[in-house]
A and B are shown apart, each in its own frame.
Chain A
Amino acid sequence: AQSVSQHNHHVILSEAASLELGCNYSYGGTVNLFWYVQYPGQHLQLLLKYFSGDPLVKGIKGFEAEFIKSKFSFNLRKPSVQWSDTAEYFCAVIRTGGFKTIFGAGTRLFVKA
């Protein structure tokens, strides 16, 4: 069965620090990958997605993620975080052509001003 593992449940950073959130998935076939963000008290919003092509994808608000197929990973990065990036981040995977998205447990990021 597909699964998604997010290694860090809680991350605390100071403003301007660099961010990398880990995500690994288990599925041997072709997948589409997503990162969603949930700001406090709000619904999930799509941050970025990978379907095919360039494994380095860029999303909104300066976020990017790199798909490394050999490692089954899709880590989220941002060079310099801001206080407003405080949120919970979810990695998600769906088998290409499939219809059920599997979500990771989420990583709560707190950025100190």
Chain B
Amino acid sequence: DADVTQTPRNRITKTGKRIMLECSQTKGHDRMYWYRQDPGLGLRLIYYSFDVKDINKGEISDGYSVSRQAQAKFSLSLESAIPNQTALYFCATSDSTRDFHGYTFGSGTRLTVV
């Protein structure tokens, strides 16, 4: 099994619909992140969480919300999807108890809003 699992892998949804992207990890890491990848823009941070009770906005949080249900689970919601939220979404984890050595990424969710 993958260390960081994202579901669904692909999703097409209509404008105005609510959608949730889920992320779970078996790394035992305390920190989890949601990034959005757009061509030519790289990865941009949407939200990050340092533990279950610590959730923070990233650089592009408008239109998104998150929930850290447990240390291993971090969900991203689009309350009312719009076409410019069409992108590839990645969940990532890291371990604050050790020196930072980079993220572990999930396989991504490709979201299309029509």
Residues of A within 8 A of B (CB): 4, 6, 9, 32, 34, 36, 42-46, 49, 51, 90, 94, 99-101, 103-106
Binds A, one of B12-20, B62-70, B78-86, B94-102: B94-102
Q: What total of chain B residues lie within 8 Å of the partner, measured CB to CB?
A: 22
A90 B42 Cβ-Cβ under 8 A: yes
Instruction: Give B16-71 interface residues, CB cut-off 8 Å to A.
Output: 31, 35, 40-45, 48, 50, 58
Which chain A residue shows the least CB distance to B107? A43
**What chain A residues lie within 8 Å of B41 (beta carbons)?**
105
**What chain A residues lie within 8 Å of B43 (beta carbons)?**
44, 90, 103
Task: Output the least CB separation between A45 and chain B (Å).
Answer: 7
**What chain B residues lie within 8 Å of A51 (beta carbons)?**
99
Cα of A94 to Cα of B31 in the assembled complex, Å: 15
Residues of B within 8 A of A (CB): 31, 35, 40-45, 48, 50, 58, 90, 96, 99-103, 105-108
**What chain A residues lie within 8 Å of B42 (beta carbons)?**
4, 6, 90, 103-106
A100 B90 Cβ-Cβ under 8 A: no
Cα of A6 to Cα of B41 in the assembled complex, Å: 11
Task: Output the least CB separation between B36 and chain A (Å).
Answer: 11
A4, A32, A34, A44: which has the most chain B beta carbons within 10 Å? A44
**What chain B residues lie within 8 Å of A9 (beta carbons)?**
40
Q: Taking A90-B42, A104-B42 as contacts, is the C-beta distance between A46 and B102 under 8 angstroms?
A: yes
B40 A32 Cβ-Cβ under 8 A: no
A100 B48 Cβ-Cβ under 8 A: yes
Beyond the given A103-B35, A103-B43, please list 12 additional residue pairs across the A-B interface where CB-CB is below 8 A: A4-B42, A43-B107, A45-B105, A46-B101, A99-B31, A100-B48, A100-B58, A101-B45, A103-B42, A103-B44, A105-B40, A105-B42
